[in-house]
Structure 1
Amino acid sequence: MLGTLRKIVQEVNAAKDLKAALGIIVLRVREAMGSQVCSVYLLDPESDRFVLMATEGLNKKAIGKVSMAHNEGLVGLVGSREEPLNLEHASEHPRYRYFAETGEERYASFLGAPIIHHRRVMGVLVIQQKERRQFDEGEEAFLVTMSAQLAGVIAHAEATGSIRGFGRQGKGIQETRFLGIAGAPGAAVGSAVVVLPPADLDVVPDKHIEDIPAELALFEAALEAVRADMRALSQKLSSQMRKEELALFDVYLMMLDDSALGGEVAAVIRTGQWAQGALRQVVSNHIARFEMMDDDYLRERASDIKDIGRRLLGNLQKAHKQALTYPERTILVSEELTPAMLGEVPEGRLAGMVSVLGSSNSHVAILARAMGIPTVMGAVDLPYSKVDGIELIVDGTRGEIITNPGKVLREQYLQLAEQERQLSAGLDVLRELPCETTDGHRIPLWVNTGLLADVVRAQERGAEGVGLYRTEVPFMIKERFPSEKEQMAIYREQLQAFHPLPVTMRTLDIGGDKSLPYFPIKEENPFLGWRGIRVTLDHPEIFLLQIRAMLKASVGLNNLRILLPMISGTRELEESLHLIHRAIGEVRDEGMDVQVPPVGVMIEVPAAVYLTRELARQVDFISVGSNDLTQYLLAVDRNNPRVADLYDYLHPAVLEALQRIVKEAHEEGRPVSICGEMAGDPAAAMLLLAMGFDSLSMNATNLPRVKWLLRQISMQTAKDLLARVMTIDSPEVTHATVQLTLRNLGLDKLTNPSAAV
């Protein structure tokens, strides 16, 4: 049956539209199960009724006419109960309903299975037979498996129709929404430009050649052409990016080197394989290895290999470049966006980006955030090849794409984008003003940094310090562990840039969704594995060297704060503090006058929430990592589009944990800061302010919005809202309550895209 199932799914996938797909389903399933009837009923969202959309065995004139509500008929029963129904004699069931136009009175037995896609009941798949009999377990299992497999195919076909502006009945529709992963915040309205791969390596055949030197020369010419393209793109983007970000193109050039991919392909050519076949062989092997890796960062490198392979093949085939026209507001769309694709859009025309594959950890997402381009990653349900030329809304804050937006929605998002632009234009005024509520409560707004480019953006937006400097970023762009001297230079640059403001440097936090190419961590469950402080305590030589570099970098500046990640108990903290004091002693022994910097712990593991008081007694400050704390409390991988909608930092459990942390830390006389997406959400920042957080640290892009809102409200308003929210047991109701409060204050449209739409 598995082979039959696979063939049906492949055939349905190739169907030109939903009608054709449903026709194939009912024909092939009836054949596979040897039944007299197979029908598909789809749930119409407008009427909320199950409509007969395709059948083999019933009267085809009934298609589109026969329908049932959730409380009508056997189909309605299957759909409402969301489980299969297997009847020997259907007409004897109390829920049976007869439709003369279908001619189904001749059929006795009934087997129906719900079609469910991402929790949404899409319809019901039914088979019927004349003779009275109970379908056996194998038949029932096959139909359930088939309906589960077809759910995604039907959703894709339906989405394709929606993108073309047509519903199931051919009626005009608008505003179809697709969910992905938030890649870079902000909203954009523009025209989709779909970038397809320039060449398909998968279809390249093997071919034996005699003239090996000529083939090697051909491949060398292709290598040089792609190298020239990479250098040209890097040069083109040099005015928009800093050197750390441009280093991503150096990765491409290194892969093309004779000692890397280029050399491997040449070696295969020397065995007598033509250049295209050798390229396919080497690239396929690399992709397979990278895609099997558990580490997210390394898995993302497979996309870099694919891009290089396609470009080389394009040169080898002398393929004509895809002729693309980039409109004024271009939304770049691809199955797998690459940094090189981004660089090919004329300057000033790139409004947003959408990638079907990839996560918030991919190179494109990193660059998009650095350049302030709204981006959605992981849009797996979007039939991307169908959207070329149509108008899209990209909501990078919510991780949402909207196709064929209606006039009202379009205007609202354009207004939101314009408000964002006006806010950015008015930063000079806002930058010099303190973040102070209308009744005089001051709260410092800090930034999260990693790349040197973040410094300029932070200063332009009036940051009052660094709440989180991710030291792993300089480690990730190198091919080995940076030396103490190299680290000291990087840290000194950060400390000097913000002096005399505080700079909180988190010790190396790798593992989970962050890894180093030269120090891979392969685990079944990396988020619950060897990461953060666990790695560096197991490698004290790495930890001590990093602390020494930080201390030396701070000499004469004294604005360093050290932050320890992933602390889950007092033992880890005590070991860390011991190593820090040892490093201080070693640096002083070298004759350097270093002060003991404030040391803090990150509360991001649920266990640490319950140990806040004990941890606070041993450190100088507490910092909450809202992203990981939310992820761990809710057991949700925020990079997984299947469960991303469950990730919600306004969940009652998260709010309760945060309130507890602040209360216990303050009772021990320790200040508490919070970093992550929650701190950068203006609406959530109101609640954090009311809870008593002493500072908020966020992406520099979000800082002006948070400052703008907090300057419009009083501390009492924030406390009243928090008091209401803490009595609510549903995150959905919490969101609605917060937005209603902001709407009543006239502050909703700028703070949250969902309020405007």
Structure 2
Amino acid sequence: MLNTLRKIVQEVNAAKDLKAALGIIVQRVKESMGSQVCSVYLLDPESNRFVLMATEGLNKRSIGKVSMAPNEGLVGLVGSREEPLNLEDAASHPRYRYFAETGEERYASFLGAPIIHHRRVMGVLVVQQKERRQFDEGEEAFLVTMSAQLAGVIAHAEATGSIRGLGKQGKGIQEAKFVGVAGSPGAAVGSAVVMLPPADLDVVPDKSVDDIDAEMELFGKALEWVREDMQELSAKLAKQLRKEERALFDVYLMMLEDAALGGEVRAIIKTGQWAQGALRQVVNAHVARFELMDDAYLRERASDVRDLGRRLLAYLQEERKQQLTYPDNTILVAEELSPAMLGEVPAGKLVGLVSVQGSGNSHVAILARAMGIPTVMGAVDLPYSKVDGIAMIVDGYHGEVFTNPSAELCKQYRAVVEEERQLVKGLDALRGLPCETLDGHRVPLWVNTGLLADVTRAQERGAEGVGLYRTEVPFMINERFPSEKEQMQNYRGQLAAFHPLPVTMRTLDIGGDKALPYFPIKEENPFLGWRGIRITLDHPEIFLVQVRAMLKASEGLNNLRILLPMISGLQELEESLHLIHRAWGEVRDEGVDIPMPPVGVMIEIPAAVYQVRELARQVDFLSVGSNDLTQYLLAVDRNNPRVADLYDFLHPAVLHALKLVVDGAHAEGKPVSICGEMAGDPAAAVILMAMGFDSLSMNATNLPKVKWLLRQLSLSKAQELLAQLLRMDSPQVIHSSLHLALRNLGLGRVINPAATIQA
């Protein structure tokens, strides 16, 4: 069955259009099941009727003519009930309807399965037989599986049709909407420019060569050309990005060195493999390694390696680079965007980005947020190769892409773009002002950092400290564990840059989902595996060196706070505190005079929520990691586009858990902060302030909006709003009630300027 399915699906995917695909399906399913009839009925959204679109066994002249409403016939019954129907004698069923033009009176048994894509019924797949018999379980399973495979094909064909301006009946241009993951907020109206990869590594064959020196020389030239490209792109982006952000291109250059990718390819060439084959082997091995990682940030590095590999291959094949023209208001579309692609677009022309693959944690999304470019990632259903040159809207607030938008929709989104521009202009004036409510309540706004680039951005936006410094970044860019001295210099840079403001450094948070190349971990379920504090307690030599480096870095500055990730109980906390005190004692013995810094615990595992008071008694502060806590509470991988809409930090379970944490921490007299996407969402920040969080830590880009909104409200009004929301049991109702309340106060547009557009 699997083999047959695979063959049918491959054949269908290669079909030139929907009509051909449906023709293949009815023919192959009829053959495979040994039935006498196989037909596909598709639901026409305009007439809301199931129309016969392809058949083998019925009269071909009835295609396009025979149709039935959801409350008519057996096909309508399968479609409206959304479940299979298996009948031995179809004619005796009360819903049976006879169509003379199909000649179907000769067929007794009937098996129908609904075709459903993302909860939408698209049609019905039917097989029929002359003799009366019940189709067996295996046959039913085959048809259900076939219809599930068919759903994606039909959705893709319909989307392609609407993109190219032809519906099923060949009617004029249709507007179509595709849903992905919000990568960078904002809206853009423009023209799509599709960037296809310069070369395809996957099709490169193995080939033996005799002249190894010639291959080495060819590969050396390719390396040199790509190096020049990278330096050129970095220079091109100089005006748009800061020096630290352009450092991403330095990472590319490092990967080309002999100590990295370059050296591995040369080693394989020496065995007698041609340069292209050697390159494919090395790149695919690296990509496979990265893609197995469950940490979203690290998984995205696979696309960087793949992009480099394609560029090198293009030169090896002596192909000319793709010549693209970029109109004003270019929306760059690719199957997998890479940071280098951004540099290809002339300055001032790029207004939006769409990537079929990837997530909100990819390098592209990080750069897009830094550059303020609206971005949608993970638009998996978008037939990207067909959209070149057409009008498009990117909604980076909701993670939506519109193709062939109507004049009215374009007008609405252009108004949003202009409003956003005016708003950003107005927020600049807030930089030196405190984040204080109308009734005098102060809320310190901190930032999350990891790259040096974040420092300047945070200072420009008036951050009052660092709520989360991700210490794993220096570990990720190294080929080995950094020494105590190297770590100390790194941490000193962060502490000095923000002095005298507090800097909260999270201890190394690696593991199954963030495996370092020199410390590989393979696990079935990395999110529930060996990660965070679990690893560093098992490897005290790593933990002690890191804590010693932090302590030494803080000498004379005394603005360090240490944060422990992934704590699930008291034993882990007690062991960690014991090691921190040991490191402090060692450092003082070496003559470094520093006070013991405050130590805190990250609340990101549900177990910690219910032990919050016990944990708070042992530490100086608590910090909620809202991204992971939401993910664990709701059992949703927020970077998976298929379930990303279930990830919701305003879910009642999340709100009640957060309230428990704040109340528990304050009952023990300890401050509690929150970091993650939730803290940087202006509307959610109102709720967090009302709950009593002592500080909010966020992406620097969002800080001015959060500050503006909190300054327009009183704490008492926010608390009143929170009390109402905590009584609600649906995330959707909570969202709409919160946004409505803020809109009624005249504050709606800063939350989401695109919220009022009903597309």
Alignment TM class, shorter chain as reference: over 0.9
Q: Which moved more, 1:678-687 or 1:178-187?
A: 178-187
The whole-number CA distance in structure 2 between the counterparts of 1:590 and 1:270 is 50
The whole-number CA distance in structure 1 between the counterparts of 2:517 and 2:346 is 32
TM-score normalized by the length of structure 2 = 0.94
Task: Compute the displacement of 1:412 (Å).
Answer: 2.8
Whether the 8 Å contact between 1:265 and 1:279 is mirrored in structure 2 is yes
Task: Compute the displacement of 1:568 (Å).
Answer: 0.9
The whole-number CA distance in structure 1 between the counterparts of 2:76 and 2:754 is 33
Q: Which amino acid aligns with 2:224?
A: E
Task: Compute the displacement of 1:5 (Å).
Answer: 1.9
Q: Which amino acid aligns with 1:475?
A: F
Q: Which moved more, 1:445-454 or 1:272-281?
A: 272-281
Secondary structure of the 2:114 match is strand
**Which residue in 1 is equivalent to 2:531?**
531
Q: Percent identity?
A: 80
Q: Which amino acid aligns with 1:373?
A: I
The whole-number CA distance in structure 1 between the counterparts of 2:726 and 2:109 is 53
CA deviation profile, 1:289-308 (whole Å, cap 9, x unmatched): 55455665554443333323
Secondary structure of the 2:548 match is helix
**Which residue in 1 is equivalent to 2:510?**
510
The whole-number CA distance in structure 2 between the counterparts of 1:145 and 1:411 is 43
Whether the 8 Å contact between 2:416 and 2:754 is mirrored in structure 1 is no
The whole-number CA distance in structure 1 between the counterparts of 2:318 and 2:653 is 58
Q: Which moved more, 1:190-199 or 1:169-178?
A: 169-178
The whole-number CA distance in structure 2 between the counterparts of 1:275 and 1:499 is 51
**Which residue in 1 is equivalent to 2:67?**
67
Secondary structure of the 2:700 match is coil
**Which residue in 2 is equivalent to 1:652?**
652
Query: Relative to structure 1, is the Cα distance of residues 213 and 577 closer, same or farther in structure 2, using a 3 angstrom cutoff?
Result: closer
Q: Which amino acid aligns with 1:581?
A: H
Q: Which amino acid aligns with 1:39?
A: S
Question: How do 1:368-387 and structure 2 match up within 5 A?
Answer: 368-387=368-387
Task: Compute the displacement of 1:700 (Å).
Answer: 1.0
Task: Compute the displacement of 1:238 (Å).
Answer: 4.0
TM-score normalized by the length of structure 1 = 0.94
Task: Compute the displacement of 1:562 (Å).
Answer: 1.6
Question: How do 1:543-692 and structure 2 match up within 5 A?
Answer: 543-692=543-692
The whole-number CA distance in structure 2 between the counterparts of 1:521 and 1:267 is 25
Q: Which moved more, 1:494-503 or 1:562-571?
A: 494-503
Q: Which amino acid aligns with 1:732?
A: Q
Task: Compute the displacement of 1:267 (Å).
Answer: 4.7
Q: Which moved more, 1:13-22 or 1:233-242?
A: 233-242
**Which residue in 1 is equivalent to 2:135?**
135
Query: Relative to structure 1, is the Cα distance of residues 297 and 465 closer, same or farther in structure 2, using a 3 angstrom cutoff?
Result: closer
Whether the 8 Å contact between 1:331 and 1:354 is mirrored in structure 2 is yes
The whole-number CA distance in structure 2 between the counterparts of 1:46 and 1:673 is 51
Q: Which amino acid aligns with 1:706?
A: V
**Which residue in 1 is equivalent to 2:437?**
437
**Which residue in 2 is equivalent to 1:255?**
255
Query: Relative to structure 1, is the Cα distance of residues 440 and 260 closer, same or farther in structure 2, using a 3 angstrom cutoff?
Result: closer
Whether the 8 Å contact between 1:207 and 1:273 is mirrored in structure 2 is yes
Q: What is the CA RMSD across the aligned residues, in angstroms?
A: 2.4
The whole-number CA distance in structure 2 between the counterparts of 1:85 and 1:361 is 44
Whether the 8 Å contact between 1:112 and 1:125 is mirrored in structure 2 is yes
Question: How do 1:228-307 and structure 2 match up within 5 A?
Answer: 228-270=228-270, 272-288=272-288, 290-292=290-292, 296=296, 299-307=299-307
**Which residue in 1 is equivalent to 2:452?**
452
Query: Relative to structure 1, is the Cα distance of residues 490 and 241 closer, same or farther in structure 2, using a 3 angstrom cutoff?
Result: farther
Whether the 8 Å contact between 2:293 and 2:514 is mirrored in structure 1 is no
Query: Relative to structure 1, is the Cα distance of residues 263 and 440 closer, same or farther in structure 2, using a 3 angstrom cutoff?
Result: closer
**Which residue in 2 is equivalent to 1:120?**
120
**Which residue in 2 is equivalent to 1:197?**
197
CA deviation profile, 1:465-491 (whole Å, cap 9, x unmatched): 211111112222222222222222222
Whether the 8 Å contact between 2:293 and 2:513 is mirrored in structure 1 is no
Query: Relative to structure 1, is the Cα distance of residues 174 and 461 closer, same or farther in structure 2, using a 3 angstrom cutoff?
Result: farther
Query: Relative to structure 1, is the Cα distance of residues 435 and 171 closer, same or farther in structure 2, using a 3 angstrom cutoff?
Result: farther
Whether the 8 Å contact between 2:230 and 2:253 is mirrored in structure 1 is yes
Structure 1 unaligned blocks of 5 or more: none
Task: Compute the displacement of 1:753 (Å).
Answer: 4.7
Q: Which amino acid aligns with 2:618?
A: Q
Question: How do 1:173-212 and structure 2 match up within 5 A?
Answer: 174-207=174-207, 209-212=209-212
Q: Which moved more, 1:68-77 or 1:684-693?
A: 68-77
**In the alignment, is residue 97 of structure 1 matched against residue 88 of structure 2?**
no
Secondary structure of the 1:519 match is coil
**Which residue in 2 is equivalent to 1:418?**
418
Secondary structure of the 1:423 match is helix
CA deviation profile, 1:107-136 (whole Å, cap 9, x unmatched): 211111111223332221111122222222
Secondary structure of the 1:617 match is helix
Whether the 8 Å contact between 1:44 and 1:50 is mirrored in structure 2 is yes
Whether the 8 Å contact between 1:683 and 1:752 is mirrored in structure 2 is no
Q: Which amino acid aligns with 1:417?
A: V
Task: Compute the displacement of 1:738 (Å).
Answer: 1.5
**Which residue in 1 is equivalent to 2:85?**
85
The whole-number CA distance in structure 2 between the counterparts of 1:619 and 1:426 is 40
The whole-number CA distance in structure 2 between the counterparts of 1:581 and 1:269 is 52
CA deviation profile, 1:614-668 (whole Å, cap 9, x unmatched): 1111112121111100000001111111111110111111111111111121122
**Which residue in 2 is equivalent to 1:221?**
221
Secondary structure of the 1:426 match is helix
The whole-number CA distance in structure 1 between the counterparts of 2:674 and 2:267 is 53
Question: How do 1:290-439 and structure 2 match up within 5 A?
Answer: 290-292=290-292, 296=296, 299-439=299-439
Whether the 8 Å contact between 1:247 and 1:477 is mirrored in structure 2 is no
**In the alignment, is residue 487 of structure 1 matched against residue 487 of structure 2?**
yes
The whole-number CA distance in structure 1 between the counterparts of 2:557 and 2:355 is 43
Query: Relative to structure 1, is the Cα distance of residues 375 and 411 closer, same or farther in structure 2, using a 3 angstrom cutoff?
Result: same
Task: Compute the displacement of 1:173 (Å).
Answer: 5.3
Secondary structure of the 1:365 match is helix
The whole-number CA distance in structure 2 between the counterparts of 1:174 and 1:598 is 59
Whether the 8 Å contact between 2:513 and 2:531 is mirrored in structure 1 is no
Q: Which amino acid aligns with 1:651?
A: H
CA deviation profile, 1:502-556 (whole Å, cap 9, x unmatched): 2222111123543322222221111111111111111222222222222222222
Q: Which amino acid aligns with 2:748?
A: D
Query: Relative to structure 1, is the Cα distance of residues 17 and 551 closer, same or farther in structure 2, using a 3 angstrom cutoff?
Result: same
Q: Which moved more, 1:364-373 or 1:519-528?
A: 364-373
The whole-number CA distance in structure 2 between the counterparts of 1:486 and 1:193 is 43
Whether the 8 Å contact between 2:41 and 2:123 is mirrored in structure 1 is yes
Q: Which amino acid aligns with 2:600?
A: G
Structure 2 unaligned blocks of 5 or more: none
The whole-number CA distance in structure 2 between the counterparts of 1:473 and 1:271 is 35
Whether the 8 Å contact between 2:37 and 2:58 is mirrored in structure 1 is yes
Task: Compute the displacement of 1:252 (Å).
Answer: 2.9
The whole-number CA distance in structure 2 between the counterparts of 1:298 and 1:470 is 13
CA deviation profile, 1:230-259 (whole Å, cap 9, x unmatched): 222233334444455434333333333345
Secondary structure of the 1:405 match is coil
Task: Compute the displacement of 1:698 (Å).
Answer: 0.9
**Which residue in 1 is equivalent to 2:16?**
16
Query: Relative to structure 1, is the Cα distance of residues 273 and 485 closer, same or farther in structure 2, using a 3 angstrom cutoff?
Result: closer
Q: Which amino acid aligns with 2:52?
A: L
Whether the 8 Å contact between 1:294 and 1:522 is mirrored in structure 2 is no
Whether the 8 Å contact between 2:427 and 2:705 is mirrored in structure 1 is no
The whole-number CA distance in structure 1 between the counterparts of 2:301 and 2:416 is 35
Secondary structure of the 2:618 match is coil
Task: Compute the displacement of 1:8 (Å).
Answer: 1.8
Q: Which amino acid aligns with 2:634?
A: L
CA deviation profile, 1:124-179 (whole Å, cap 9, x unmatched): 11111222222222222211121111111111112211222333333345442222
